[in-house]
Structure 1
């Protein structure tokens, strides 16, 4: 446990550094929104494109990954919807609760896989991201639209197409998967350029995640903070471990899937909440509290997974 905590500590130190730099307004207040856009639209898509182009997407592993990841996602989504109804939470807040319970911070997942398992971990993380990002976005956009009472089929389909078609992570994954499965493989020059950009993706992304944390927002609606945090940081990884056991997966791949289940919700959920009418303040609070709590829960989840699937922490 201690060794794992030390291994992932640099990731959280980068988050804290990003938050401190923004609080000190260094290098300037206008810098961080622009850096966040650069990461979301250029650097991280380059990383996903580079990795998915050469990732092992064929064979039995992908099917097993899909069962584990999608099984855990669906179960967690059902729990989130049921919890919102059980506690009578409003539609706008329920949308943020749903995102908090189901989305995953790909930046932290990638960085953790890299720190613990190196390039092999990044390849497995690329496969996991390729499988999990599309349905997660589909679920969240659908839920947020429906929670706003826009149940018309045309309205829902329009929003889904708009949000999915302009998602740079999905576009990068789609391009990489196409080149991979078509046999074309990596493109000269383009692949090298993506590789160079990808080296800046994770540190910049982690600094931006830290800069985007809102301490004051943690005073928001308490029930949603508690429910979403339990769903995402406790139930999601527990369900993930259960589904992994059911599929028979083990080794490094199993641990990385647990990492995807145990990371906090995605910081991009804040922008989606604002766009689709959910309570953005609650979403900001959920992102912040989960990120801080994951400093404890993520190493613990990895330690449990390592002890079982790798034979030791």
Structure 2
């Protein structure tokens, strides 16, 4: 249990600090919105470039890891679609449950990977990001186009694909792995600069997660909250474990497949729901509930993979 607390304790302490800082008015929107953009467009890409460049996972294991998390995500997507008739939700509400079931919080994931496995963990999660950011975005946008309310003029799957190609996290992962494949070393000063930037990504991103927590609209949507949380925090990692084992993953690579599947829902799901006619208030409640519940479920999955 010491290891679990060592990993999850700092993560949720930083989330709690961000929540308190915003709730008490110590730091308002004029801080958090620029901080989120700085993290997303500068700090995290710097971290991922260096992580990808240093990754030493064999090609077959990299493909198997991407295949395991991809298969698990597709499995949960199909299962969520089959559950639509029994959830008792309108189209917009269903899109929020769908996003809640498949979209992982990258900020939490990178921190967990680093605290568990150091630089090797960052290399592993870079593989997951490169494979999954396009897939999750295309699935989410497609469902919102079909069931979202009033999404005229919003993103289509084709436009979503173009945005994914320009996504800073995808670009950073691709650059890092290109450097790795070419065995190209960055100049020492550039590498040190990116390392320093990357170190700022983890604490600031987790505080931003806490600042975004919103407990409204949870009590009125217990069925949706329970379904989305169970699919994301329990079913998806179980499928990732099964798929990873079938594809021959072992050790840290198998553990990464499971833990990537077990991450809580990303705050970016709220933005997409608001843009494309999803139920944004429900989405906010699902994100908050999944983040809090992950304190227990991530601990359980860490026990499983260690």
- Give the TM-score normalised by the residue count of structure 2: 0.91
Matched with 2:105 is 105
Alpha-carbon contact 2:55-2:120 (below 8 Å) kept:
no
- Shift, 1:162, TM fit: 4.6
Q: Does residue 260 of structure 1 match 2:260?
A: yes
CA distance in 2, matches of 1:151, 1:42: 30
Give the ranges of 4+ consecutive aligned residues of structure 1 lying more than 6 Å apart after TM superposition.
Answer: 149-152
Matches within 5 A, 1:1-313: 1-56=1-56, 59-148=59-148, 156-186=156-186, 189-306=189-306
Measure, in 2, the Cα distance between the counterparts of 1:161 and 1:135: 9
Could you tell me how far apart the structure 1 residues matched to 2:75 and 2:260 are? 15
Indicate if the aligned counterparts of 1:150 and 1:156 stay in contact, CA closer than 8 A: no
Q: Is the 8 A contact 2:96 2:282 kept in 1?
A: yes
Q: Tell me the SS of whatever aligns to 2:28.
A: coil
Instruction: Count how many residue pairs are aligned between Structure 1 and Structure 2.
Output: 305
Tell whether the 8 Å contact from 1:7 to 1:115 is kept in structure 2 after alignment.
yes
Matched-pair contact (CA < 8 Å) for 1:220–1:282: no
Shift of 1:49: 2.0
Distance 1:143 1:186, change over 3 A: farther
| 1:166 shift after superposition | 4.2
Q: Deviations over 1:162-201 (max 9, x none)?
A: 5324422222223333333345453664443222210100
Name whichever of 16-25 and 123-132 sits farther off.
123-132
In the other structure, the counterpart of 1:311 is: none
Offset at residue 237 of structure 1 (A)? 1.1
- Residues 60-103 of structure 1: CA deviation (Å, up to 9, x unaligned): 11121122111111111111111223334222111111110001
Give the whole-Å Cα distance in 2 for the aligned partners of 1:252 and 1:285: 32
Q: How many angstroms does 1:239 deviate by?
A: 1.0
Query: Is contact 1:270-1:280 (8 Å) kept?
Result: yes
Change (3 A) 1:146 1:185: farther
Structure 1 residues 282 and 60, CA, compared in 2 at 3 Å: closer, same or farther?
A: same
Contact 1:264 1:287 in 2 (8 A): yes
Q: Contact 2:44–2:169 (CA<8 Å) still a contact in 1?
A: yes
TM-score by length of 1: 0.89
RMSD after superposition = 2.4
Decide whether the 8 Å contact of 2:95 with 2:143 is kept in 1. Answer: yes
Name which of structure 1's ranges 224-233 and 143-152 shifts more when overlaid on structure 2.
Answer: 143-152
Q: Distance in 2 between matches of 1:20 and 1:237?
A: 30
